Each structure stands twice: as structure tokens, then as C-alpha cells.
Amino acid sequence: MGGYFCRAVSETASKPEIRFRGIGVAPGIAHAPVVVHWEVDEEVPVRPISVADLPEEIARFEAVLMATRAEILEMQKRIENAIGARDASIFDAHLLVVEDRTLIDEVLRTIESSRQNVEHVFATVYERYCHTLEQIDDPYLRERVVDIQDVSRRILRHLLGKGPRDFATSENPHILAARILTPSDTSLIDREKVLGFATEAGSKTSHSAIMARSLGIPAVAGLHEIFGALETGDSVLLDGTAGLLILNPGQETLKEYGRIEQRREAVEEQLDLIRDTSSTTRDGQRVVLSANIGLPEEMAEVAECGAEGVGLFRSEFLFLNREDIPTEDEQMAAYRTVAERASPHAVVIRTLDVGGDKLAEAFGPSNEESPFLGCRAIRYCLERPEFFKIQLRAILRASAFGKIRLMYPMISGVGELRRANALLEECKTELSAAGTAFDTSLPVGIMIEIPSAALSADHLAREVSFFSIGTNDLIQYTLAVDRMNDAISSLFEPTHPAVLRLLRTVVDAARAAGIGLSVCGEMAGDVIMTPLLLGLGVREMSAAPPLVLRVKKAIQSLDVESCERLMAEARERDSGEDILHLCEQVARSRYAELLD
């Protein structure tokens, strides 16, 4: 938690208190003057060049790429020394951008065809590149646009003959506010002076959020209204747990948050004590509680949070920031690492969950108008069986080194499942013929995240070993609500009666078939939803590592009988808001300290 509350900020009684709500991405409370850092776009000149100028322009571009790469390596070393190798690995993606032949070759071709200066050509190419990625239907991939922008702006400043840009700072403790904080920005901050981050853009997967959590300072992203509202020196209180930025906090607010900070610190100390205990309800019902991760390096967090293995390994992260497909050996090595580090617990590896437009460098661009409903996840893989089999073989080979479970995303019906399993059987035959070891009884499951899959769960349950409910997409598709659209975010209701009916259908089908069932979406990490999930009959959950201990505490504070009574009452309600209120009542009566 923060520990940075009420640091040398004078009361500004003459100014009104204003609250801005965003997304809490790193817990804690900070109170300090704000330092505002707003990105200023570079003015890029455009001028014609002659054929004779081409070699010089190309040589200048190549020299700048080398200089930028050296800068990134230096930043990476600085972060590694300050925080550790895991956080320094953020810059691996930046190095890939500098070495990205797709981007570099397009710049070189455009210089030759357009006969324009390299600064203008580079700015045009990278802006088009970023615009394409920003249209992708995946928040994590959209966040990776920041990597490209960060490196590209650094390259552009070199091409313009400028040094690294100045970064807003202060000699005194402060909260840093910006439109977005790039890894380059965060590498420059004074960790002794910056008490928290506040950004207009970003999410829990942004690098500023990752860095804030590593530094142990609060951070709030998605503060869309702060542009123009803040000035350097303003008194600001930042609540990284609730996702609040309070401008000019009054005395009553300061007193209230002083009490909240004390309570939160006490809660964190209590949570540390249950790290190595089991997630068992008060009446003895055992619940398997695992973690969701995307990279092998995150296994350290899994161990630290007391999770029982990995309930969701998002394999698509291995495919990011590269122009080619990871080889079978590369994928196998990553899966093996996760399986070995998770031992004796299991790892659920979800096969590639992206759309065709997200691998444009390898397969060519996609022009789908509705990527949410397009050729993504299992559909994408089934359209490219040889590509899909590379991943399937890699997972099978890794299964010889630990407890691995394979899971297909976005299954809509039995037909897709059978096609995927047919390819899996081909891979097993190929590996057997080559004498390659693998787990011949590898458990195979599916994500339930489409209403059609939930409604036909009884049919699907006959052909799989387990279900994992992806509540984020299931809610989104059921309610026709884009969860990334702020304008309609209030319509995204996990407690909507229709959603609960689908969840009940899936749970009942899994129980009837005698197969495993878990929940790996956001609902699993929300302690307000924990009583509801237990009341539904869910006995396996998987959440982000920072949330695991909180969910464990919630489980240990509940009994199944009261959760089932909650569910029975919820089924009689016709309003998602009413059902949410019931959940909050139970949660507050059993672990109010987790809700503050």
C-alpha cells in the first residue's frame, strides 16, 4: 500500500473540491502537489529529396536506429538495477520495435518511392502502423501501441536532431499526471519523489500501471476529464484502490482518507498472514484459487500471491511485438517453464485468442468491420490448421514436464470443438510417430464466453474435461455491451438476471457431466461477486495475482449455506442492481474491510 498520505500539502480552502473517477490500477493512497506532464507532438518538416540524396537519408535512418537501440539498452539497465530484471523486461518490446524489419523496410521503400525526407516518411509510416493497432479489439494489444509510440517518438527526435525530451519533475514529493506514461517516462522518474501516477489513458495492463505496482505506489488511469483541469502545484489526493483523483481535497476528505489508509494498511498485513493457507470456507468447502498470467516471467507473482497454479495462461502474449510466428520450440520452452514453475499445481494454457487483424505482420491485414464478431480466437486458428498445429504440438510436448491442461477459447458449439480436437489428435499421432513424449491423457477444456456455448453446455460437456467461464466476454455478448465503451459502461452488469441464468446453466451442465468448472473472468477477482459464485456452485476460481489474497480472504469468511441463500433470493429478483445490492450486503457483513 501507499504510505504516502498527507505529505506537506497545505489546505486550499478557497478552491472547490472536485472528484474525478477513473480506473484504479495500483492500490494505495497518495496526497501531494501534482506535477503535470503533457506530451507535445513534434513538428515534422516535409521536403523533397533527389536520387542522389537517398543513400545519405538511408544511412542517417540506420544510424538513428542504432543510437536509439543503445539508449533503450541503457534505460533497461537502469531499471534492472533499480527495480529488477522482471520490470526491465518491459523494454524488450521496445528493442523489437527498433529491430522490426516490417516497419524499417516500409520506411525504406517509402523513402525511395516518395522521394521525401526520412523524418516525414518515418512519422507517416509509424502513425499508420499505430492507427491500425488501435482498431484492434483487445485492450492489451491496444496498450502495446504505447510501446511503438514511445520508441518512434524517440527515433523521430533523433532524426530531427534533438536530444531526449525533457520530463516534467519536481524536487519535492509529488503526484505525476500525464496523458499517458510510457516506459521511457517511467525510467526517468525519481522513485523517492514520485508518490503516484494519474493518467488520462491507460488501463491495468499499461506499463505505467505495471511499474506503479512494482514501485508500490498508487496509480489511477482512465481519468478522461483531467486534461485542462490540473495545473502543476495543485493539491491532489490519489486513491489507487477506488480509482479516484480528488482535486483540492478538503479537511473532512483528508481526515476520512487518513482513517481509510490506516485500515487498508492493517488489511494488507492481515492478508499477508493467510498467503500460505488454503482457500476453504467457514463450513469446510474447499475452493481451488489460481492466478491468471500472460508471460512466464509472471510466475514469480503467482508464487508470491499464494495461488494454486495458473488457471489461465494467455498464450497470445508470446505472439506480440514480433513480425513472425513463435516457433514450436520457442512456444514449447515458454509452456514448459510455466508448467515446471507451477509444480505441483496445474497450468491451464488457453490457445491463441486473437483475431486475424492482430497478426497482420505474419498473415496480412484484415479489414473486418466487426472484430468482436469476426474471425478471432478458435475461428482464426481453425482457418489456419498448420499454424494452429504448431501451438498444439508445443503444448503437447510441454505437457511431459508438468501438469498442463489445454483450453480452446471462443467455442460456440460442438462443431468447432470437434474440429479443434481432430487437429489435436493429428498432432498426437505426429509426435508419437517421432517418439516425442507428451501427456497422452492431456485434459482438454473450453472457454464458455459465448451465449450459444452456455446454452448448449450440456452437449459440450460430453466432449471435454472441464469448462472455464470467461465472464468478461459472456456478459458483453449477452448484453450487447462493449465493455471498453465508457459511454455505456453502466450497462455492463455481471449481476444481470440473464447473465446469472446462463451461469447457472453452465454450472448445472458441468455438474451433471462430472467435469471440472472454473471462473477466470473479472467476476472471479471481485470480492463482491464471491458470495454469488459460491452460491452458484463454483468451486474453482482464477484471478489476477494482486487480487488472489483478497479473494482468498473472502472465501475464508463465507459459508456455503449463506451463499446459496443469497443465490436463491437473487433468482427471484428481476433487476441486476437489486442483485448487486444483495451481494454487497453479504460481502459487507463478512469482510467489510476488503470493500473500503
Q: Which domains, and CATH codes, for the chain?
A: 18-39+167-248 (3.50.30.10), 51-159 (1.10.274.10), 279-447+519-594 (3.20.20.60)
Q: Is the dihedral of CA 257, 525, 492, 591 positive or negative?
A: negative
- 8 A C-beta contact, residue 283 and residue 559: yes
Contacts for 574-583: CB closer than 8 Å, 24+ residues apart? 574/497, 575/497, 576/493, 576/494, 576/495, 576/496, 576/497, 576/499, 577/493, 577/495, 579/495, 579/497, 579/500, 579/532, 580/493, 580/494, 580/495, 580/528, 583/495, 583/528, 583/529, 583/531, 583/532
Take residue 409 and report the three cell numbers written for it.
477459447
Q: How far is CA 460 from the centre of its chain?
A: 28
The C-alpha cell that represents 359 in the structure block = 497478426
* pLDDT tens readout for residues 126-182: 888 777 766 665 555 555 676 777 788 788 888 888 766 555 667 789 999 988 776
In DSSP terms, 289 is beta-bridged to: 541
Q: What is the pLDDT of residue 360?
A: 39
- Exposed, middle or buried: residue 307 (CB in 10 Å: 0-12, 13-18, 19+)? buried
Let me know how long the chain is.
596
The cell numbers describing 576, all together, are 441486476
Q: How far is CA 42 from the centre of its chain?
A: 30
Q: H/E element holding 314?
A: strand 310-314
182 sits in the region (left: phi over 0; alpha: psi -120 to 50; else beta) called beta
Long-range contacts of 42-47 (CB under 8 A, 24+ apart): 42/123, 42/153, 42/156, 42/157, 42/160, 42/162, 44/119, 44/120, 44/123, 44/156, 44/160, 45/117, 45/119, 45/120, 46/116, 46/117, 46/120, 47/116, 47/117, 47/120
Radius of gyration of the chain (CA): 25
Low-confidence ranges of the chain (pLDDT < 50): 1-12, 356-365
Query: By the 8 A CB rule, do 405 and 466 touch?
Result: yes
Look at residues 203, 306, 243 and name the one whose alpha carbon lies nearest to residue 548: 306
Match 487483424 to its residue by C-alpha cell: 357
Catalytic residue among 381, 520, 563, 583: 520
Cell of 438: 507428451
Three-state secondary structure readout of 238-293: EECCCCEEEECCCHHHHHHHHHHHHHHHHHHHHHHHCCCCCCECCCCCECEEEEEE
Q: Are strands 244-247 and 288-293 parallel, antiparallel or unpaired?
A: unpaired
Cell of 176: 505525476
Amino acid at 70: A
The cell for 490 is 453502466
Clarify whether 6 is annotated catalytic: no
Instruction: Give the other-Cβ count within 10 Å of 209's Cβ.
Output: 24
Q: Based on the residue annotation, tell me whether 520 is a catalytic residue of this protein.
A: yes
State how far the Cα of 499 lies from the Cα of 549, in Å rounded to an integer: 26
Shortest CA distance to 380 belongs to which of 372, 390, 392, 388? 388
d(CA 415, CA 437): 29
Q: For residues 389 and 219, what is the distance between their CA atoms, to the nearest angstrom?
A: 41
Candidates 142, 111, 141; CA nearest to 124 is 111
Rounded to whole angstroms, the Cα distance separating 24 from 243 reads: 4
Question: Grid coordinates in use for 184?
Answer: 521511457
Select which of 207, 427, 563, 583 is catalytic: 207
Burial of 301 (C-beta count, 10 Å sphere; 0-12/13-18/19+) = middle
The three cell numbers of residue 326 are: 513463435
Answer whether 72's CB lies under 8 Å from 96's CB.
no
- Residues 28/280, Cβ–Cβ less than 8 Å: no
Please give the grid coordinates belonging to residue 256.
476520512
What is the predicted pLDDT for the residue at 242?
A: 87
Instruction: Give the DSSP H/E element, type plus range, for residue 516.
Output: strand 516-519
* Whether the Cβ atoms of residue 355 and residue 375 lie closer than 8 Å to each other: yes
Reply yes or no: is the peptide bond before residue 344 cis, omega within 30 of 0: yes
CA distance 47 to 365: 30
